[in-house]
């Protein structure tokens, strides 16, 4: 039986990827941010998961405004890093796990979550930056990755509650896969940030820290946050946080917080990070 053993929440700021790729992680601006991920990389290399499900959002890279799936599951053998204007990041090819991905598609769709099945997709910083933060700069990523792409770019994004329940459906799907796989699930994006208009640069540490507290200890309360509160409190791009709820929904009600890190600023964004393990 496969099982989800742990969850990771992690912001995905593109400038973090550039800092890693250009060897700037020890510079004074970046050092405090990266220091908070040293333990995370140790945790990841000790955990040695067999598969990672990475819940992330595409930034009009693989999908344009011509086609906007709410939830898109990557079922391909591999996913190329996308060219986001500076060329594709010099990171390894993302290897998929088609067998588990197709099983999740079948289980979740028959469980009445209508995912889009994607057999070819490039992956942008939304997916590669969290992988870099958690795995460093290896020649190959340490495990296959199943990308689950959520629309948080074009209104209307899914509700936090829908995301939480999708996490529960993914957990049921993984548990009904008949291979012994230890799976970790990432919820990426966030925390507070707004990249545009009058409130560009908005950061709200009070909201961010309460969000992390509640996500760990009583996630049901987080599922009730309406979109307008994310916008008001966490800025227009703060809505990326609904993706953390997919991760949380896939874990036990009670979890152990193994690590937590919060840092401002990284580019225009407050960076938040959690490592949660199921209590066994």
CA-CA distance, 144 to 126, in Å (whole number)?
Answer: 17
Q: Residue 268, SS3? A: coil
Phi then psi dihedrals of residue 48, to 5 deg: 45, 60
Q: Residue 190 CB, nearest distance to ligand DHB (Å)?
A: 8
**CB nearer to ligand DHB: pick between 222 and 241:** 241
Q: Residue 269 CB, nearest distance to ligand DHB (Å)?
A: 4
CA-CA distance, 18 to 22, in Å (whole number)?
Answer: 6
Stretch that binds ligand DHB, among 65-73, 168-176, 218-226, 262-270 (CB under 6 A): 262-270
Question: What tokens does 230 get?
Answer: 């994310």
**CB nearer to ligand DHB: pick between 47 and 271:** 271
Pick the catalytic residue: 12, 97, 103, 193?
Answer: 193
Q: Residue 279 CB, nearest distance to ligand DHB (Å)?
A: 31
Among 6, 17, 59, 273, binds ligand DHB (CB under 6 A): 59
Stretch that binds ligand DHB, among 9-17, 140-148, 161-169, 216-224 (CB under 6 A): 9-17
Among 97, 103, 171, 193, binds ligand DHB (CB under 6 A): 193
CA-CA distance, 153 to 240, in Å (whole number)?
Answer: 8
For 30, counting Cβ atoms within 10 Å of its Cβ (0-12 exposed, 13-18 middle, 19+ buried), the class is middle
For 252, counting Cβ atoms within 10 Å of its Cβ (0-12 exposed, 13-18 middle, 19+ buried), the class is middle
Among 7, 14, 49, 74, binds ligand DHB (CB under 6 A): 14
Looking at residue 237, the DSSP 8-state letter turns out to be G
Q: Which residues bind ligand DHB (CB under 6 A)?
A: 12-15, 59, 193, 195, 237, 267-269
């Amino acid at each position: 039986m496969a099982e989800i053993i742990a969850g990771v929440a992690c912001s995905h700021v593109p400038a973090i990827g550039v800092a890693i790729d250009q060897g700037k992680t020890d510079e004074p601006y970046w050092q405090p941010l990266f220091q908070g991920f040293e333990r995370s990389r140790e945790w990841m290399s000790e955990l040695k998961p067999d598969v990672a499900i990475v819940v992330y959002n595409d930034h009009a890279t693989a999908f344009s405004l011509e086609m906007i799936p709410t939830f898109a599951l990557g079922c391909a053998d591999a996913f190329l890093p996308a060219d986001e204007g500076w060329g594709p990041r010099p990171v390894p090819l993302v290897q998929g796990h088609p067998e588990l991905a197709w099983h999740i598609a079948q289980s979740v769709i028959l469980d009445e979550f209508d995912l889009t099945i994607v057999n070819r997709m490039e992956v942008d910083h939304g997916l590669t930056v969290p992988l870099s933060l958690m795995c460093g700069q290896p020649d190959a990523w340490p495990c296959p990755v199943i990308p689950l792409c959520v629309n948080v770019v074009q209104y209307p994004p899914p509700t936090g509650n829908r995301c939480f329940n999708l996490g529960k459906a993914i957990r049921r799907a993984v548990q009904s896969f008949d291979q012994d796989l230890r799976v970790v699930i990432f919820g990426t994006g966030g925390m507070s940030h707004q990249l545009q208009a009058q409130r560009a640069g908005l950061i709200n540490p009070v909201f961010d820290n309460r969000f992390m507290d509640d996500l760990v200890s009583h996630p049901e309360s987080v599922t009730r946050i309406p979109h307008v509160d994310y916008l008001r409190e966490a800025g227009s791009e703060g809505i990326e946080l609904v993706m953390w709820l997919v991760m949380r929904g896939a874990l036990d009600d009670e979890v152990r917080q193994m690590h937590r890190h919060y840092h401002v600023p990284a580019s225009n964004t407050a960076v938040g990070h959690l490592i949660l393990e199921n209590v066994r």
